[in-house]
Amino acid sequence: MNYEAKLSDIIASLPEIEGGFLFAPEKGVYANQATEISSNDDLLQIALKFSKIFSMLTVHFNDTGNFRVTFKDLVLFGMVLDQGQWLFLFHRPSLSPSMVNMTVQLALNIVTDETEQKDSQEVTSPPVESSPPPVPDENTTLETLLAPESDLSRPLNSIKDELSKYIGPVAELIFEELAEEWGTNFSPTLKTLPELIRLLEEEIDNDDDRKTFKKATDAFLVEE
């Protein structure tokens, strides 16, 4: 199938779609129609991160076919095609997930049934909730840790913002994933924050960026 032509058709069919690109392990990013949104290198990092996360998701959700990350002003939609190829779209939040799915399926001649929506794992930014100050333990949720009353709220949000400078819009998804891992393996406290930072450092490919991130995040650590 000529995916490059299909990508152009999909983007042209909906004005809410701001751009898109294709990715394949052996080719990298190609048919790039998102140059005004991000650089080719940043898009490559996004594609690599999504591919990694998708592999992890399919271990637990065998029917996962696509998923999206919702930000304030833009939504990133990713869909695995065949032979390791990916289709990525950037669209406005006003465009419904069902419309995106339907448009892509029609363009690619994908036949679905009533369980179609099960194929999509949607990831959204965690809401900030008002809750009592958390007692750090293995059952503490990320939402609670990020709540304004939490002692961890300021350093965690600062670390997340710092990470986005080096890996782009996928930072929020990576942060949530690794923060959950951190909370599972360690008691989530100010004292164990260096363990979370260590996990996040591994997601930054550039050595200089990794060192800068480490230096910047050290400033967010507060002694208990």
Across all residues in the chain, what is the average pLDDT? 79
Cβ pair 50, 61 in contact under 8 A: no
Nearest alpha-carbon partner for 55 in 77, 75, 27, 84: 84
Using one digit for the tens of pLDDT, what is the confidence trace for 56-69? 666 555 555 677 78
pTM for the structure as a whole: 0.52
User: How high is the pLDDT of residue 21?
Assistant: 94
Amino acid found at 76 = L
User: Which pLDDT does position 65 carry in this prediction?
Assistant: 65
pLDDT digits (tens, 9 = 90+) for 4-53: 999 999 999 889 999 999 999 888 999 999 988 888 888 988 888 877 77
CA dihedral (123, 32, 34, 89) positive or negative: negative
pLDDT at position 134 over 60: no
3-class state of residue 47 by DSSP = helix
Would you say the C-alpha torsion 95, 100, 102, 103 has a positive or negative sign? Answer: positive
What pLDDT score was predicted for residue 129?
Answer: 47
pLDDT digits (tens, 9 = 90+) for 156-211: 888 988 998 888 777 888 888 888 888 888 888 888 889 999 999 988 888 899 89
Mean of pLDDT values over 90-98? 87
Tokens 């998701």, located at residue: 57
| Rounded Cα gap, residues 221 and 138, in angstroms | 21
* Model pLDDT, residue 116: 46
Specify whether the CB–CB gap between 126 and 143 falls below 8 A. yes
Q: Is the pLDDT of residue 88 over 90?
A: yes
CA distance 130 to 150: 10
Q: Containing H/E element for 157?
A: helix 153-167
Instruction: Summarize the confidence of residues 128-151 as an average pLDDT.
Output: 61
| Rounded-to-integer distance, Cα 33 and Cα 218, Å | 38
CA angle 26-87-179, nearest 5°? 90
Q: What is the pLDDT of residue 11?
A: 92
Taking the C-alpha atoms of residue 45 and residue 15, their distance in angstroms, rounded to an integer, is 26
Sorting pLDDT into bands at 50, 70 and 90, what band is 130?
Answer: very low
- Cα separation, 87 vs 104, in Å, equals 9
Contacts of 66 (CB under 8 A, 6+ apart): 77, 78, 79, 80, 101, 104, 119, 120
